[in-house]
Structure 1
């Protein structure tokens, strides 16, 4: 393997970790904001019971953390894809891509979690580090 190929692989790994981190941070922040009582009070306007506040908050917060560290990434990305499909079709009604009620950010997040779901956590992740542990430590 040439030095250029090694650099390219390292760059790809770092860029993918950056994608996972950006997506994870967005979902962590969105999940944390859902613990706000104002969000719970707005749930009936979205056709959801107030009791869904904590499950909805955790459905974004926990997978966001797991995607960043690279553990259970595919499962977490799958859950977040469902969350984003719900946001696009149930909450926003998929009325337009841009403008008021637009779903452009939702679509970018959906596409990003679909990439993580298909590719997995990548080589810079806890899951990859665990795979490289000597057999005696498993």
Structure 2
């Protein structure tokens, strides 16, 4: 393997870590507001019971944390993809790409989650570090 190939693989790993971390931070920050009573009060307007506020908030918070550390990344990205599909079609009604009610950010988050879901977390992740622990330490 040449130095250029090693550098390219390392850069790919940095990119995947950056993508995971960015999506993770976005979903952690986005979930925090969903723990407030105001979010629960607004859910019936979207056709959902108010009791779904905490499960929805946790469905964004937990995968966000797992993406940052790189554990269960594909599963977390799958859950985020489902959340984003719900945001695009249920919350915003997929009415426009840009402007008021636009789904452009939602589509970017969905596409990013799909990349993580398909490609995996990359080599800079806790999941990869755990795989490298010698079997005798398990």
Bin of the TM-score, shorter chain as denominator length: over 0.9
Residue 41 (structure 1) aligns with: 41
SS at match of 1:34: helix
Question: Which stretch shows the higher mean deviation, 64-73 or 1-10?
Answer: 1-10
Residue 54 (structure 2) aligns with: 54
Q: Would you say 1:82 and 2:82 are equivalent positions?
A: yes
Root-mean-square deviation (CA, aligned residues, Å) is: 0.7
Q: Counterparts of 1:127 and 1:81 in 2: how far apart (Å)?
A: 21
TM-score, normalised on structure 1?
0.97
Q: Offset at 1:37? A: 1.2
Residue 12 (structure 2) aligns with: 12
Query: 1:55-105 CA deviation, whole Å, 9 max, x = no partner?
Result: 000000000000111101111111111000000011100001000000000
Q: Counterparts of 1:29 and 1:36 in 2: how far apart (Å)?
A: 13
Q: Offset at 1:49? A: 0.8
- 5+ residue gaps in structure 2? none
The alignment covers a number of residue pairs equal to 138
- 5+ residue gaps in structure 1? none
TM-score, normalised on structure 2?
0.97
Q: Counterparts of 1:16 and 1:73 in 2: how far apart (Å)?
A: 11
Q: Counterparts of 1:13 and 1:75 in 2: how far apart (Å)?
A: 19
Q: Counterparts of 1:13 and 1:122 in 2: how far apart (Å)?
A: 5
Residue 28 (structure 2) aligns with: 28
Residue 121 (structure 1) aligns with: 121
Residue 97 (structure 1) aligns with: 97
Q: Counterparts of 1:94 and 1:10 in 2: how far apart (Å)?
A: 38
Q: Counterparts of 1:83 and 1:94 in 2: how far apart (Å)?
A: 14
Q: Counterparts of 2:65 and 2:97 in 1: how far apart (Å)?
A: 28
